[in-house]
Chains A and B, each alone.
Chain A
């Protein structure tokens, strides 16, 4: 399978390895929809079921890692595809390949702020539409809240002092969860 990807998408291939018995392939982002379509339709191991699509934030390199977990019913095999994108880079949506990706990508957008091109309805899914910030990013503190939103819609003071994106480190009054 890896050889087939290498042969067709040689320039997109980064590396393939196994970790605790699980197959993983690292790719570049440019031709991801073509690669996913190929993985779905090929005869060697047809990965016809998109189990999950999610992201991991690595702020040190200003990067997001997009993870696709695929499963093949006929061969009973899982594979994980990973690709690194820079902050605010736009990637192609997988919705044309699997309808499942619709909500999964909306959740990634909601939680990380990753933008997808050609997505039919890229709006927030779990948080309110006018919420500020993307909670699963590493620079979003666990105690942070959209104070303005809470005050406006719930009519209470949330008790959180800081807005998203404010320089918090300089302020001595700021409490981190580890304190």
Chain B
């Protein structure tokens, strides 16, 4: 800790928050420059979880590489898998059969709900509301049970394959999903009764970490954090991938772009995901699960960029193929990495306690930031 005398008899100190801090959601270090309780500047130090995910792609075949991606954003492993499989499929010039596409959409949306639930639980516990955490994990458990029944894993699922899905849905899958989505909207209302009009919650979130839509675009912020600032943009609508064009759903937006708006956007997104699942589960078509393709994946020479709307924002894959069985270069455009860059702008002028709220509202996963 260094101390420096400033003009107005106040001292400016530098405090290091993290890397072992419960509110940084992983090993993130934030170097805060403080004037009393007020934050003047914040520097993020990242890289503690760097495992060389992009380098690993150069030594593995396309199919071998997919499970590695589950370890990036481990809370939303299904989205990571979907984005990569679709990118390679696009490069190969094939599309997965409709049955596989519907299963993909159901699983990805369930995963979005579980990711948002984990966010809500931890965000609330950071701000002092412990009950919400227990409620959220109760519902999250139901989703993880569906994942476990489907593919045997709960977090790092490796759910899809390039060209489709490997597993047929199990008996009673549709019933289990129907039961979950029937009860879920009332559960969201339950969270709302705990937080939405809670005076402490409003005091801790309203007007905290405000970012305007223009600044958010300049900083490349995507996902619920961008929609919270009033920009109605969702890749599922703007550039529909999988079979999202078949479904009817709304994109919720916020107003001023503070922590409270982002909270409302994510809650509404959970309800919209329920709507998508309800439509998809009723009309899963019959047919094969895998597209007709050769056993060895050898895309043509060229490059592709494909992005999907992950729970945290735009997740993009840029793949350069040299015509061999291994990708020449794989680049992941991680939403959390780019979103975290906005932290510096958002915390300036706030109290130290608000930094916790703002890190929480950005919904970051360090596994994805550091790759």
Contact = CB atoms under 8 A, between A and B. Distances in A.
A99 B341 CA distance: 9
Interface centre among A52, A57, A111 (most CB of B within 10 A): A52
Given A20-B91, A51-B316, A98 B220 contact: yes
Interface stretch (A2-10, A123-131, A150-158, A164-172): A123-131
Given A69-B318, A76-B238, A177-B59, A56 B217 contact: no
A136 B316 contact: no
A135 B55 contact: yes
Nearest to B337: A103
A142 B58 contact: yes
A56 B91 contact: no
Contact of B47 (A20, A80, A99, A127): A127
Nearest to A76: B238
Interface string B209-220: 000000001111
Nearest to A77: B239
Given A52-B333, A69-B305, A142-B58, A20 B90 contact: yes
Interface in A101-158: 102-104, 111, 124-128, 135-136, 140, 142
Contacts of A111: 54
A50 interface: yes
A134 to B, nearest CB: 11
B55 A78 contact: no
B305 A142 contact: no
Given A20-B91, A76-B238, A100-B219, A142 B56 contact: yes
Contacts of B318: 52, 54, 67, 69
Given A127-B50, A128-B47, A52 B59 contact: no
Contacts of A80: 303, 305
Given A51-B220, A73-B217, A100-B218, A78 B305 contact: yes
B329 interface: yes
A50 B305 CA distance: 13
B218 A20 contact: no
A22 B305 contact: yes
Contacts of B316: 51-52, 69
B236 to A, nearest CB: 13
Contacts of A126: 46-47, 50, 370-371
Contacts of A22: 304-305
Contacts of B203: none
A98 B341 CA distance: 12
A140 B56 CA distance: 12
A99 B304 contact: no
A140 B58 CA distance: 11
Nearest to B220: A100
A78 B304 CA distance: 12
Contacts of B269: none
Contact of B217 (A48, A52, A54, A140): A48
Contact of B341 (A48, A102, A124): A102
Contact of A56 (B304, B320, B337): B320
B360 to A, nearest CB: 20
B221 to A, nearest CB: 9
Contacts of A177: 59
Contact of B52 (A76, A125, A135): A135
A52 B331 contact: yes
Nearest to B369: A126
A126 B333 CA distance: 15
Given A20-B91, A69-B316, A99 B305 contact: no
A49 B220 contact: yes
Given A20-B302, A80-B305, A126-B47, A51 B314 contact: yes
Given A20-B304, A78-B305, A125 B47 contact: yes
Nearest to A124: B47
B307 interface: yes
A51 B220 CA distance: 7
Contacts of A98: 218, 220
B233 interface: yes
5 contacts: A20-B90, A100-B341, A103-B337, A103-B338, A124-B47
Interface of A: 19-20, 22, 48-52, 54, 56-57, 67, 69, 73, 76, 78, 80, 98-100, 102-104, 111, 124-128, 135-136, 140, 142, 177
Given A98-B220, A124-B47, A142-B58, 9 more contacts: A19-B303, A54-B331, A69-B333, A78-B305, A80-B303, A99-B219, A100-B220, A104-B338, A125-B46
